[in-house]
């Protein structure tokens, strides 16, 4: 499908420089784009490609200065990256709207409720008394257990598994092979050394506009709910244990593990491969560096930590600087010790 520069500018509230009627039918990176494709420039490192790209339309920042004239039509916006993201989202939604109907073979229990404009891919399973909201897309191989509730306009990619009684909100995206609602890791040590399983009778609640990456696991609560609040964005390969709560608009990068009953605040940023122990609290706005090990609560909002065990980010940088200087410091100490010894011998001789 073709879109003109005028149509695109209207969608992202941009100003056109060039031919408003030029059209594009696809997207391309600025260093590789061809005629008939749309690209964008947000990172100054790629500015040189602005003058040699084959793209027909380029989105750039409002204050981008041009060194030489450009043949492509430009659309100037306040934030080129955000504007491009809006276009990609619109494109994805357009493609998604074309997916409707129920493919066969698939299974929908007679007591399940499926809304309008829903897509159910082949080999999907929708269990007893499950509810699927309007416009939701369930791709092939998805399992939706008994009593699950899924809101409107959500997307479950191939192989997603939603265990019984879990709740998924509106406009949620869950990527391939993620498991929501598997049992929390709860075992009671017995006198004879064996471990007795503690039944996990809670659920998982995923609120609105959450995105969860591929192969992530979110355990159901022992009692109550494991909760992912609205706007949170979770990467691939995360382990989120039972009764964890993750606040609004928090982002967590890949391979992070969060132990049971930990409460993470709003707008927290957690780098990849971080580890967080259980039963602690992370204050709003906290930034946790990649590969950090958080072993105690962070109670002050907007704190930045790093290391294992994690502690104040600025103090950690100072410690690293001191550590790098240790060989020189050792040499100076040895020189001072030698000088003191020489002075001591000189004093005794007098």
DSSP 72: S
Contacts of 118-127 with C-beta under 8 Å, sequence gap 24+, read 121/158, 127/164
CA–CA distance, 170 with 206 (Å, rounded to integer): 9
Max distance between CA atoms of the chain, in angstroms, equals 106
CA–CA distance, 154 with 167 (Å, rounded to integer): 12
DSSP 139: -
> In the annotation, is 242 catalytic?
yes
Catalytic residue among 139, 157, 175, 242: 242
Query: What is the three-class DSSP state of 130?
Result: coil
CA–CA distance, 200 with 98 (Å, rounded to integer): 39
Say how many C-beta atoms besides its own lie within 10 A of residue 167's C-beta: 20
List, in order, residues 6 or more apart from 137 with CB less than 8 Å away.
96, 99, 118, 119, 154, 155, 156
Query: What is the three-class DSSP state of 137?
Result: strand
CA–CA distance, 6 with 68 (Å, rounded to integer): 23
Residues belonging to the active site: 242
């Amino acid at each position: 499908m073709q879109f003109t520069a005028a149509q695109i500018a209207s969608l992202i509230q941009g100003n056109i420089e060039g031919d408003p009627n030029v059209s594009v039918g696809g997207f391309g990176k600025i260093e590789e784009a061809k005629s008939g494709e749309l690209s964008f420039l947000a990172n100054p490192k790629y500015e040189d490609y602005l003058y040699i790209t084959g793209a027909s339309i380029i989105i750039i920042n409002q204050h981008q200065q041009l060194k030489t004239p450009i043949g492509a039509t430009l659309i100037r916006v306040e934030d080129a990256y955000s504007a491009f993201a809006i276009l990609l989202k619109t494109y994805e939604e357009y493609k998604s709207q074309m997916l409707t109907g129920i493919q066969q073979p698939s299974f929908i229990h007679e007591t399940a409720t499926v809304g309008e404009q829903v897509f159910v891919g082949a080999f999907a399973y929708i269990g007893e008394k499950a509810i699927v909201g309007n416009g939701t897309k369930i791709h092939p191989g998805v399992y939706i257990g008994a009593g699950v509730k899924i809101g409107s306009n959500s997307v479950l990619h191939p192989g997603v598994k939603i265990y019984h009684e879990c709740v998924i909100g509106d406009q949620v995206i869950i990527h391939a092979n993620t498991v929501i609602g598997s049992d929390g890791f709860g075992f009671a040590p017995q006198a004879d050394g064996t471990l007795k399983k503690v039944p996990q009778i809670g659920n998982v609640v995923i609120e609105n506009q959450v995105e969860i990456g591929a192969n992530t696991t979110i355990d159901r609560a022992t009692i109550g709910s494991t909760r992912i609040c609205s706007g949170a964005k979770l990467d691939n390969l995360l382990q989120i244990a039972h009764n964890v709560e993750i606040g609004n608009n928090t982002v967590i990068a890949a391979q992070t593990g969060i132990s049971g009953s930990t409460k993470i605040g709003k707008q927290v940023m957690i780098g990849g491969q971080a580890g967080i122990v259980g039963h602690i609290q992370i204050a709003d706005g906290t930034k946790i560096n990649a590969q950090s090990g958080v072993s105690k609560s962070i109670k002050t909002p907007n704190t930045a930590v790093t290391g294992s065990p994690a502690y104040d980010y600025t103090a950690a940088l100072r410690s690293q600087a001191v550590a790098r200087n240790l060989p020189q410091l050792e040499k100076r100490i040895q020189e001072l010790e030698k000088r003191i010894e020489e002075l001591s011998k000189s004093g005794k001789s007098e």
